[in-house]
Amino acid sequence: EPEVTQTPSHQVTQMGQEVILRCVPISNHLYFYWYRQILGQKVEFLVSFYNNEISEKSEIFDDQFSVERPDGSNFTLKIRSTKLEDSAMYFCASSELAQASGGELFFGEGSRLTVL
C-alpha cells in the first residue's frame, strides 16, 4: 500500500540551528500538508501546498518556516532558526484530491524534533 514517508524519524538540534524535515508524498498526490503535534496535545495545521505554492498557512507558520518541493517528489519543511517551542512531532500529509472534493488525507509517521 502506498504511504507517505518522512525522514528523519527523530532529530535533535540546538536552539538557533536550521532544520530540514523531508517527506516523500504518495506519488500521484497533488496536495501536500505539514501538521505538528506537541507532545500529548492536538494535531495543528501548519501549511498546505498545491501547484508549487502555499495555498494556506496558519499563524504558527511564521517567517522562520518555509516549504519547498525541490524535485517533484520530495516535500520539505525548513525551520530557519529553531526555538525550544518548536519541539514537536511534525507530520507530513498528502491527498490526491482537494479536501473540498472529498480527498482523503494520508499522514506519514512523523519526524520528532527536539530542540535543546
Smallest gap from Cβ 15 to other proteins, in A, equals 25
Could you say which of 51, 63, 84, 102 contacts other proteins (CB under 8 A)? 102
14 versus 39: smaller Cβ distance to other proteins: 39
Q: What are phi and psi of 109, to 5 degrees?
A: -85, -5
108 binds other proteins (CB under 8 A): yes
12 binds other proteins (CB under 8 A): no
41 versus 81: smaller Cβ distance to other proteins: 41
